[in-house]
Chains A and B, each alone.
Chain A
Amino acid sequence: MAVVFKKSGLIARLPFHYCPGCTHGIAHRLVAECIEELDMKEKAVGVAPVGCAVFAYNYFDIDMYEAAHGRAPAVATGAKRVHPGNLVFTYQGDGDLASIGAAEIVHAAARGENITAIFINNAIYGMTGGQMAPTTLVGQKTTTSPLGRDPKHCGYPVRVSEMLSTLDGAAYIERVSLHDVPHINKAKKAIKKAFETQMSGKGFSLVEILSTCPTNWGLSPVEAIGWLKDNMIPYYPLGVYKEAKSHDE
């Protein structure tokens, strides 16, 4: 029988701890497939965040770091500066990257740090049980915005891709989504493009991946996919936000 789908050899044979229907697993697979297809397994070094993906170092069968909350871009900077030939990436949630680690990601991008950030935007703090994130939508209910996010009280959600694309050091920035197969395929292309950007030394790259957190959104996996499509994409439009030809351009 022909094999139509197989697990990436780069993903360890362990059960994921992610909730059923969570898109973190898909994002992991895409990252692993891209590394394999680019034949960079021996040179890939990942930095896991603090968040639901904290155990990512168990799942990627490559050299890995686990960083302090929000600091993955700084850790990746240290790792990359020592071994510039390695493919160094961070894998970060929205609380990690856009809140506590806002300074680190902005300055990694501003420096044109030749690393790739895989940014999982699920509009919530998943790991700690569903608190408001910097990316939580206006009106979205979370455990710390029980009546829905009120912008008069706590401002508006942060559009990371748009913000970082204003920085000259950012070489490739794209926002993608995992809500259906065509978009998953597009997401994979974006990740590969980001890795290629790094491999050709062009500078900082980031792929923002709109993701679901069915558990803390209080929705079934299928409902969560629908909610992402109907609510997140209008506020977080998909597309390429930055594509530089070379670092100095």
Chain B
Amino acid sequence: MAKVLMKGNEAVAEAAIQAGCRFFFGYPITPQNQIPEYMSRRLPEVGGTFLQAESEISAINMVYGAAGAGARVMTSSSSPGISLKQEGISYIACAELPCVIVNMVRSGPGLGGILPTQGDYFQSVKGGGHGDYRLVVYAPNSVQEAADCVMQAFDVSDQYRVPALILGDGMIGQMMEPVEFRTPKKRDLPEKTWAATGYDGTKQRAVINSLYIEAEAMNAVCTRLQQVYRQIEQNEIQYEEYMMDDAEICIVAYGTTSRIAKNAIGQARASLGIRAGLIRPITLWPFPSKAISDAAGQCSAFVAVEMSAGQMVEDVRLALDGKRPVSFVGTLGGIIPTPAMIIDELKAIKEAMS
């Protein structure tokens, strides 16, 4: 298929349709409104259903209903709306239902603002809702990658029966870039024999449920979930290494900030001779801890760059386990970091090193 120029939000929506998503439930919130708007136009064309729910709470529970019925289904929102969905996401995780959730992050806490931040990292990768569960979290840094991640997320979610989250921000959602809808690598996806489609006696009766009153039963479910999470950690980690071959300082950044980091790396190398490189997590969970830990052999310092007060940096420190110093460059409130901020930090590290 040829490349087309599209907004990130629209590319996310079209990618979902290309991936076979036929149900979408959402509630308006800036900066992701183009996703439901696009879906409301496109889904009926392909025999699908778009429904505007009365709240994010309802939308995620409609997702629970549709996913439980065996359909490919998606919802999208932005930070405050994603907070409202958390109870439902926890239920979906426990009931082992595949679905894709998109969060085009805005600033917070509270009603916050509509500008891009990365303040929902903890919520996305450490739980968000209650209980011991994980989401597979993708953090694309371009419109093309957003489309790729969405298409892959449906397959991964179906394969492991774990909900997947696309973590973008207002920047990824709003910017226009060329995009091509590429079919992801083929996976052997299990048939959804567990779906509630009506009980005709030919299969086991379907019960879509997250209630386990007895400790033994709840323990069995939690243990199974953990086993699945270990498999995902084995198989699904994705990251990009940029100029890491000879790097002495390693920047870790994802999504929008990774683009700024690349720019800073180019400038630092060209004008200051500082050999910086980048490890860019594409999956935030599972996190590329090993790649970061391995880079400690070669890099003497690490810098995490985020549009937050310092969230992913904790996982970078955990990955390094004290082996190397980790510093942090962050912005808050929707202020975008500049390459100069990153270069200043690289200079300070370089001076301390010599």
Q: Give A contacts to B, CB under 8 Å.
A: 41-45, 47, 54-55, 57, 61-68, 71, 74-83, 86, 103-104, 106-107
B227 at interface (Cβ–Cβ under 8 A)?
A: no
Residues on the B chain within 8 Å of A71, using CB? 57-58, 61, 64, 88
CA distance A75 to B54 in the complex (A): 13
CA distance A45 to B196 in the complex (A): 7
Q: Give B contacts to A, CB under 8 Å.
A: 23, 25, 49, 51, 53-55, 57-59, 61-71, 73, 87-88, 91, 196-201, 205-211
Least distance between A111 CB and chain B CB atoms (Å) = 8
- Specify the main secondary structure of chain B where it touches its partner: mixed
Q: List 14 A-B contacts (CB under 8 A).
A: A44-B199, A45-B196, A62-B199, A63-B198, A63-B207, A64-B209, A65-B68, A66-B208, A66-B210, A67-B91, A74-B53, A76-B65, A77-B58, A106-B54
Residues on the A chain within 8 Å of B208, using CB? 64-66
Please name 18 further chain A to chain B contacts, defined as beta carbons within 8 Å, in addition to the given A57-B209, A62-B198, A78-B25, sorted by A numbering.
Answer: A43-B198, A47-B65, A57-B207, A62-B205, A74-B58, A74-B61, A74-B65, A75-B61, A77-B62, A78-B62, A78-B65, A78-B69, A81-B23, A82-B23, A82-B71, A83-B197, A104-B58, A107-B54
Residues on the B chain within 8 Å of A81, using CB? 23, 49, 51, 62, 65-66
Least distance between A62 CB and chain B CB atoms (Å) = 5
Least distance between A86 CB and chain B CB atoms (Å) = 5
CA distance A43 to B197 in the complex (A): 8
Least distance between B203 CB and chain A CB atoms (Å) = 10
Least distance between B250 CB and chain A CB atoms (Å) = 43
CA distance A104 to B206 in the complex (A): 24
By beta carbon, the residue of chain A nearest B58 is A74
Known: A63-B207, A65-B209, A66-B211. A78 touches B197 (CB 8 A): no
Query: Which one of A62, A79, A104 contacts B68 once the chains associate, using CB atoms below 8 Å?
Result: A79
